[in-house]
Amino acid sequence: MARTYKEAGVDVKKAERFVSFIRKVTDLENGFGGVVELPKGYKQPLFVSSADGVGTKLMLAFLSGNHRTVGIDMVAMNVNDILCRGARPWFFLDYIACGRLDVKIMKDVMKGIVDGCNEAGCRLIGGETAEMPDFYRPGEYDLSGFCVGVVEKANLLPRKKAIKKGDVVLGLASSGLHSNGFSFVRKVLSSRELKKRAKELLTPTQIYVRPVLSLLEKVRVKQIAHITGGGFYLKAPKGLPQGLGLNIDSKSWPVPDIFIELSRRSGASKREMFSTFNMGIGMTLIVSRRDVDKALSYLSEGSCYVIGEVVEGKGVRIA
């Protein structure tokens, strides 16, 4: 029988100390709700929001004891979505739920979130760390986040009416699996392999904010897609006008070994692989053919490929 909340598994004082640590590494205020002012320089600002988590990639962190980068993944999953509307990430809030507050683990998780927010240029202004005994196993946690970005109305993506047959699809290299398909990976690789290869598998999701925002200032990008759950088939054609689809040439970029291995060992079809994984391309952008060279010149070599084009039809065909 619990006589105190602490005995019942919830240590409010420890939680307060953890919040003090968070305050040191963030913009967090001591109050109800984070408060921000409208960013300057916008005539007709639109606000773009995203909520997302990391999925079962977290289980690789549990397995390996490396909790330092899943926070980056969590931020990446959100800010890359915001970027698809042409928006600049503005502020961020996190939600961490755990069984018992393990301060060492949670500090590592928070450091990853802070790293991700720094990389994306957005402020971490609040969040919630929930201690939920009996709900999460010791040392385990779930992680989600929420990002708000801003975009000038005239720059909102996709520019649906501007997308024409013959436009070109550019692909930005992924850093690996990113944060999708891990339930598949966990079925294909053995526990021993997962543990042994955790470092490689935990490579954090690429954050595309800096290069892409910089590109948007110089080149008229018409559509951006973040290749996540559902892969190319579901994400790449988002925002295309009716009657247009995409042809993607899968030989136009080097598919990283991990995807080839997963395909070989699982026996999954090409379609299944491209529906589940990013296959080496984390983000796609549509530009006019005449803007391709300019766009490529602004994006680092080896990280950007011409991977396909806009065609008459519907959906995505991958050759």
- For residues 90-109, which are near a copy of itself according to CB under 8 A? 91, 93-95, 97
CB of 53 to a copy of itself, least distance (A): 5
- Judged by DSSP in three states, 74 sits in helix
Angstrom distance (rounded) from CA 274 to CA 232: 6
How far apart are alpha carbons 106 and 230 in whole angstroms?
Answer: 30
Q: Between residue 111 and residue 130, which ones bind a copy of itself under the rule CB under 8 A?
A: 125-128, 130
Count of residues touching a copy of itself (by CB under 8 A): 84
Which residue is it, tokens 């919630």? 128
CA distance 319 to 312: 16
Q: Which helix (H) or strand (E) holds 298?
A: helix 292-298
**Segment contacting a copy of itself (CB under 8 A): 164-172, 214-222, 232-240, 294-302?**
232-240
User: Binders of a copy of itself among 22-61, rule CB under 8 A?
Assistant: 30-38, 44-53, 55-56, 58-59
Among 226, 287, 305, 316, binds a copy of itself (CB under 8 A): 226
> What is the smallest separation between the CB atom of 293 and a copy of itself, expressed in angstroms?
27
Query: How far is Cα 265 from Cα 319, in angstroms, rounded to an integer?
Result: 22
Q: Which of residues 246-305 bind a copy of itself (CB under 8 A)?
A: 266-269, 272, 275-276
CA angle (26, 126, 130) in 5-degree steps? 110
The answer to the question of residue 234 lying near a copy of itself (CB under 8 A) is: yes
For the CB of residue 199, give the shortest distance to a copy of itself in the complex, in Å.
Answer: 21
As measured in angstroms, the least distance from the Cβ of 8 to a copy of itself is 4
Taking the complex as a whole, how short is the minimal distance between the CB of residue 290 and a copy of itself, in angstroms? 26
Binding segment for a copy of itself (CB under 8 A), chosen from 185-193, 246-254, 284-292, 303-311, is 185-193
CA torsion, points 10, 14, 20, 25, in degrees to nearest 10? -80
Report the amino acid identity of residue 142.
D
Q: How near is the Cβ of 134 to a copy of itself at its closest, in Å? A: 7
CA distance 59 to 194: 10
Say if residue 158 is preceded by a cis peptide, omega within 30 of 0.
yes
Give me the phi and psi of 275, to 5 degrees please.
Answer: -90, -15
Q: Which is nearer to a copy of itself, 127 or 280 (CB)?
A: 127
Q: Binder to a copy of itself among 26, 144, 206, 284 (CB under 8 A)?
A: 144
- C-alpha distances (whole Å) from 175 to each of 216, 256, 257, 259 are 22, 9, 12, 12
Shortest separation between residue 148's beta carbon and a copy of itself, angstroms: 6
Among 7, 193, 200, 261, binds a copy of itself (CB under 8 A): 7
Q: Does 64 bind a copy of itself (CB under 8 A)?
A: no
Near a copy of itself by CB under 8 A: residue from 27, 68, 107, 133: 133
CB of 40 to a copy of itself, least distance (A): 12
Tell me if the bond preceding 204 is cis, omega within 30° of 0: no
